[in-house]
A and B are shown apart, each in its own frame.
Chain A
Amino acid sequence: NAGVTQTPKFQVLKTGQSMTLQCAQDMNHEYMSWYRQDPGMGLRLIHYSVGAGITDQGEVPNGYNVSRSTTEDFPLRLLSAAPSQTSVYFCASSYGHEAFFGQGTRLTVV
């Protein structure tokens, strides 16, 4: 089925650990983005990409890295997890008048 596949669904990390959240789409969309959702804050843009090889920072990029080596994949890396990164993360893929979201990753950093 076409759509955005985001893994894992849940993750617990210890402070200082690193991990990568995976995001893949099969709709050939150029624009992909990562958001974090915190209570009372809505969804805030972390990083986005307008095509393979092109990434840029969003509203809250600190502590996160991204890369876009292919149109399909847009992984989000936490190099050294901190408790402030405890959140729900959503990957999105969009084009023209359409936007699709992954199921979300609930990340807890202890």
Chain B
Amino acid sequence: GDSVTQMEGPVTLSEEAFLTINCTYTATGYPSLFWYVQYPGEGLQLLLKATKADDKGSNKGFEATYRKETTSFHLEKGSVQVSDSAVYFCALLNAGGTSYGKLTFGQGTILTVHP
């Protein structure tokens, strides 16, 4: 079945540091890949997405590239801010076969950014 393996946290960084959160997946068919962010006490917000190989999703300074050859979708940001402190989830949406429409999540990574 489908699965998402996400870098375990928590991750603690100083403001303006470089961020990478690793995410790899296994899936049948042609999945779309997502990063969701959850701020304290809030719901899930879509951060960025990519729907096919070599696509790059980007939003609010965050980027991730859909790498089919390495089955990865690592999240990066060049300079983090205190306001980026949140939980980040990598997710896969399978758009093919019997898993059509099924979302599979990674475990989540807690990011804390200090001033």
Size of the chain B interface, CB-CB below 8 angstroms: 22
| A25, CB-defined interface residue at 8 Å | no
**Contact, CB under 8 Å: A99 / B100:** no
Chain B neighbourhood of A42, CB < 8 A: 6, 89, 105-108
Q: How far is the CA of A45 from the CA of B32 in the complex (A)?
A: 18
**Contact, CB under 8 Å: B105 / A48:** no
Name the one of A31, A40, A41, A101 contacting B101, with C-beta atoms under 8 angstroms: A31
Chain A neighbourhood of B105, CB < 8 A: 35, 42-43
Instruction: Look across to chain A and name the residue whose beta carbon is closest to the beta carbon of B45.
Output: A101
| B49, CB-defined interface residue at 8 Å | yes
**Contact, CB under 8 Å: B43 / A102:** yes
**Contact, CB under 8 Å: B102 / A31:** yes
**Contact, CB under 8 Å: A99 / B43:** no
Instruction: Look across to chain A and name the residue whose beta carbon is closest to the beta carbon of B9.
Output: A40
Residues of chain A at the chain B interface (Cβ within 8 Å)? 29-31, 33, 35, 40-43, 45, 48, 50, 90, 92, 94-99, 101-104
